[in-house]
Amino acid sequence: MAGRNLFAEQEKPKGRNLFAQPMSTGEDVARSVGSGARNVLEMTLGALGDVGRVQGDVAGWAAEKLGASRETADWARTIASKATPLPSGPDTEFIRENVTDPVMGDALKHDPQTKAGKYAKTVTEFAPAAFGNKAGAFRRAAQVVVPAIASETAGQFTEGTALEPWARALAAVFGSGTVAATQSKTTGKAIADAMKGASPDQRRQAELLFRQAQDQGTPITRLEAIQQVTGGGTRAGDLQRVVEGQGGLRDFMAARPAQNEAAARQAFDTITPPTQAPSTIGPAVGREAEGIVTDVRKKINDVTDPIYTAAETKRIDAATFKQVQNAPGWEEARKAVRENPQLERYVKGLPDDSVGFLNEVQKYLKEQSDNAVGPFAQQRNQQVSAGYGSDQRMVKQAAEQASPEFAQAVQVQADLRQRYLDPLLQGPLGKIASKDTATQDAINALFPKNPLPNSQAEIGRTVGMLSKRNAYAARQLVRAHIESTFNQATRELQSGANQFGGAGFAAKLKGNPQQAANLEASVRALPNGDQVWEGFDKFLTVLEAQGQRQRIGSQTAFNAEALKDLQSGSPLGTAATLGAGAGISWPRKALETVERWRLGRNVDEIAALITDPQGARVFRELAGTKADAGVVNNTIRLLYLARVGSGGGSVSGAGQ
């Protein structure tokens, strides 16, 4: 049995009350809105059932057209109505007869009396399309009003005919398509395509990085952020290049050099405020390094001096002493020790054959051996060096044989030097241990362009030791390295300010992984260094994200494809533009104009979405390609119209 039709007019009572007061348009509109709201409730609750009924009605109609019997057609209708992946449920007619009529009675039931009332009722029935919609207010209103007016107008033109339900449904579809044509979907499609490959967690991380960049005054785009957190694993950079190539983001990028400059100086200040005398940094750290070396030597001597003191009065036997005296360098060394007040004070009262005196002689001979081939020797001579060395070893061996304590002291001192002093002298600290060290030389010693593998611990210890003696000088040295790198990387180009300077600075400062590790170790070794590094590293990460930006360059296959998409609209909108001219040349020109307008609008939309801090929700929804709530809500009403049009009922008017 055919159910009651939502849009069928109630049966008119026979006769007419000539004394009834005509209903005002305002009252009719108000009551029609209420009636439409009741219909919305019924259609929403019965949407799942209407899906099955539409399928069943279509299947039954097809069976009858193929010559099937009434029984076969009914069987096909029943089977098809159940063949849906959606949960089964009651249809709109069932909801009306068994829920709303018993519960609500005649409340909100009304048959519109005026055209305004009919339009008001239909618009109300389309109103759910505006709820849950991510579009702007104007578009939400258009998605309700345009298809509603189109549907009602078509219904009134075909009222009372078999075409009425089809006219209403098709006009609503056309109206929805018209709205879609005025608001191209290509913005969302472009963003969704560009974000493929990014997980939900990576998208959240990218939004956090985007906000972090805003907070520190170095804004980046959401596309740069997603490329940074995914390691370039999406096409986001390609899309941004296309947008920039069409003139989008021009003002945004033009402000970048000045923003990076201001933010960088603030980041450098977290290490230490700038000095007005940068040339004094090198000598200051050189003196401190020299003092560190001296302190280490003193500590070694403090350990070994008591052992030497216990051994210095021991004397070697006459035969051994005679051999020592015959050495070519003996007399020169003896006189140098005895006649130099600075050396003689260490052996005062000791005879020439004592272990203490022999120790000073062997140290003199060792020094002469080193000087003969040293970098400052006027005439480098390996033979002279070898001669002094041979004499030194003989004297030292004679002293060790005469005193086991002396041999022990020599061994202990050698071990301590190897463990503590030599690493300092051979490392960066030894290279700057001089009061004449220039600032740039100190920077090069601590931050070489090609550092040795695993040198971060060595760099950290050096900066840490300097910082304990002179924290100000250590901080200034680290800042000087970072700031000079920034100044070089961000220098202006012939074409103007360097928009890629921030990214270039981060890349050059961190360099290879070892350089990055050494930089981190140097900052962490400063007072409060862990906290300073945490903030500075975030600053560098944002600048690294700026490096995900691609230069516009030449057109690529992706550029051409993206531009084509951004110029296009909905198929219905394009067809309407071309069809309006029936093949005359002006529609093509009109279409080209529309395409240029779409391209510019879409570029502006994407530029706004990827830079506006308030656009996070919309960008997230577009990137996730979520369904438009307006489409879902309009479908609920169109399903009922389709069921009526397929034979489930008859429509004789716009009202109930």
Percent of the chain with pLDDT over 90: 46
pLDDT of residue 347: 92
Q: Do 32 and 121 meet the contact criterion of CB atoms below 8 Å apart? A: yes
Mean pLDDT lowest among 122-136, 284-298, 432-446: 122-136
Percent of the chain with pLDDT over 70: 74
Mean pLDDT lowest among 49-53, 436-440, 562-566: 562-566
Give the C-alpha separation, 135 to 393, whole Å. Answer: 91
Work out the angle between the directed axes of helices 557-567 and 236-245 (0-180°, nearest 10). 70
pLDDT of residue 159: 79
Tens of pLDDT, residue by residue over 490-543, are 886 656 678 899 999 999 999 999 999 999 999 999 999 999 999 999 999 999
Q: Do 607 and 187 meet the contact criterion of CB atoms below 8 Å apart? A: no
The owner of tokens 């304590």 is 405
pLDDT of residue 344: 92
> For residue 578, is pLDDT > 80?
no
Tens of pLDDT, residue by residue over 108-121, are 888 888 888 888 87
Q: Do 99 and 643 meet the contact criterion of CB atoms below 8 Å apart? A: no
pLDDT of residue 474: 97
> For residue 235, is pLDDT > 80?
yes
Tokens, residue 401: 């044989």
Higher per-residue pLDDT: 272 or 128: 272
Give the C-alpha separation, 241 to 247, whole Å. Answer: 10
| Secondary structure class of 103 (helix, strand, coil) | helix
Contacts of 609 (CB under 8 A, 6+ apart): 187, 191, 222, 615, 618, 619, 622
Residue among 521, 546, 523 at smallest CA distance from 536 = 523
Tens of pLDDT, residue by residue over 409-423, are 999 999 999 999 999
**Please, what's the largest Cα pairwise distance for the chain?**
155
> For residue 16, is pLDDT > 50?
no
Average pLDDT over residues 432-442: 94
Contacts of 170 (CB under 8 A, 6+ apart): 154
Measured in whole angstroms, the distance separating CA 383 from the mean position of its chain's CA atoms is 65
Tokens, residue 479: 């800042």
Kindly report the length of the chain.
656
* pLDDT grade for 144, boundaries at 50, 70 and 90: low
* pLDDT grade for 15, boundaries at 50, 70 and 90: very low
* pLDDT grade for 130, boundaries at 50, 70 and 90: low
pLDDT of residue 495: 62
Residue among 434, 438, 443, 453 at smallest CA distance from 522 = 443
> For residue 13, is pLDDT > 50?
no
84-106 burial string, b = 16+ CB within 10 Å, else e? Answer: eeeeeebbbbbbbeeebeeeeee
Tens of pLDDT, residue by residue over 18-61, are 445 678 888 888 888 888 788 778 777 777 677 767 766 776 77
pLDDT of residue 334: 95
Amino acid (1-letter code) at residue 116: A
Higher per-residue pLDDT: 354 or 5: 354
pLDDT of residue 8: 39
- Indicate the DSSP class of residue 3: P
Mean pLDDT lowest among 62-76, 433-447, 564-578: 564-578
- Indicate the DSSP class of residue 14: S
User: Mean pLDDT of all residues in the chain?
Assistant: 80
> For residue 631, is pLDDT > 70?
no
Query: HSE on the CB side for 287, CA within 13 Å?
Result: 8
> For residue 446, is pLDDT > 60?
yes
- Indicate the DSSP class of residue 378: S
Tens of pLDDT, residue by residue over 351-404, are 999 999 999 999 999 999 999 887 766 677 899 999 999 999 999 999 999 999
Q: Do 270 and 475 meet the contact criterion of CB atoms below 8 Å apart? A: no
Q: Which residues pair with 496 in a beta bridge?
A: 493
Apex 390 CA angle, 389 and 394, nearest 5? 115
The owner of tokens 């472009």 is 190
First to last CA, the chain: 19
Give the C-alpha separation, 379 to 381, whole Å. Answer: 6
> For residue 593, is pLDDT > 90?
no
Give the C-alpha separation, 261 to 259, whole Å. Answer: 5
> For residue 350, is pLDDT > 80?
yes
pLDDT of residue 118: 80
**Phi and psi (nearest 5°) for 496?**
130, -160
pLDDT of residue 427: 93
Tens of pLDDT, residue by residue over 259-307, are 999 999 999 999 999 999 999 999 999 999 999 999 999 999 999 999 9
pLDDT of residue 386: 94
pTM (2 d.p.): 0.63
pLDDT of residue 74: 73
Higher per-residue pLDDT: 405 or 552: 405
Average pLDDT over residues 445-469: 95
Tens of pLDDT, residue by residue over 292-345, are 999 999 999 999 999 999 999 999 999 999 999 999 999 999 999 999 999 999
The owner of tokens 């991380």 is 205
Give the C-alpha separation, 209 to 545, whole Å. Answer: 9
> For residue 548, is pLDDT > 80?
yes
Average pLDDT over residues 441-454: 94
pLDDT of residue 20: 52
Tens of pLDDT, residue by residue over 83-107, are 655 566 777 788 888 888 888 888 8
Tokens, residue 321: 């002493």
> For residue 218, is pLDDT > 70?
yes
Residue among 567, 575, 481 at smallest CA distance from 285 = 481
